[in-house]
Structure 1
Amino acid sequence: MQTKGGKTHNQTPTEKLKSRIVALKTGANICRHQLNKASVIVSKTHLSVDKETEQLSQQMAEQVNRAFEKLEAGDGVFIEHKTAKTLMETRKARIWDRDRR
């Protein structure tokens, strides 16, 4: 027995089932809405990451193109891998020493 507005109301099994279906549909709609909101957030984040990756790729391509243009124009100097690695290690050591002070 349930009371509605101060009156006693006996629900038939069919009425109980209908009210349960309504409750389940309402819950499903809430879940669907939350899922849609989460999908939008994920899509926006994915879109943001895609744009950032595209920008970084474009910047890298521009740097590589400038380096080759400089080398072809005779303004650049090609450095062997071992030499470049040694120069970078020296540069890193100077930075680490500076940061330790």
Structure 2
Amino acid sequence: MSEHVRLTAWVRGRVQGVGFRWFTRANALRIGGLSGFASNLGDGRVQVVAEGPRGNCEELLDWLRAGDTPGRVDGVTEMWDTPRGGYETFEIR
């Protein structure tokens, strides 16, 4: 599980204006080993990009889907890819 990957997740629901990005960043930092960002999209979704060990990315994805998030998550769509780099830490955009 030490393979490094890039996770892109689009989170649907009531996820803007409720602290969702801040809590996503806090959880990414708690999990550790992740870099990337959480960003509001114009259509009401939040995009989460995380790069790091596959197991750490999977833990973040599980948290996004668990319902223990601010607001309300109606669904998460994910895409896996190879890391591209360029992130020093996990940011809010």
Fold shared per TM-score above 0.5: no
- TM-score normalised to the size of structure 2? 0.21
Give the helix-richer structure, 1 or 2: 1
Query: Looking at CA atoms only, which structure, 1 or 2, has the larger radius of gyration?
Result: 1
Query: TM-score of the superposition, structure 1-length normalised?
Result: 0.20
